[in-house]
Amino acid sequence: MRPVRTLRFDHFFVTLQAVVDSLGLAIGTFPTLSTDRLAGRIATPFGDIRAPGNTYHALVPRDADKPLHLRAFVEWLAQQGEKEREKDREKDREDR
């Protein structure tokens, strides 16, 4: 089956807004989509389909100074990621 027409955007968040505005569908990562998903602005019609190995990394040069504020920021990023992962788990449990 071929689509009647397609839209292509140069940035993911423009694509996400198009989905929210009911202009089509898109594929994205659960952490990026979780806020809109939990608010009911978008749906994940295929349930818990996930690609294994999707991870995010904070890239800091090995020889970079690692002052307290940088270490605190990287720790905060990790905590935010864990919170988002837990929200997704809760939503998945609710959907079952």
Distances, alpha carbon 13 to alpha carbons 21, 26, 46, 66, in Å = 12, 11, 21, 31
* Count of residues in the chain: 96
Distance CA 95, CA 70 (A): 38
CA–CA–CA angle 88, 92, 96 (5° rounding): 170
Segments in 1-96 forming alpha helices (H) = 12-20, 30-38, 68-95
Tell me if the pTM is above 0.75. no
pLDDT at 95: 72
Query: pLDDT per residue over 22-76, tens digit each?
Result: 887 888 877 778 888 889 888 887 776 666 555 666 777 777 788 888 889 888 9
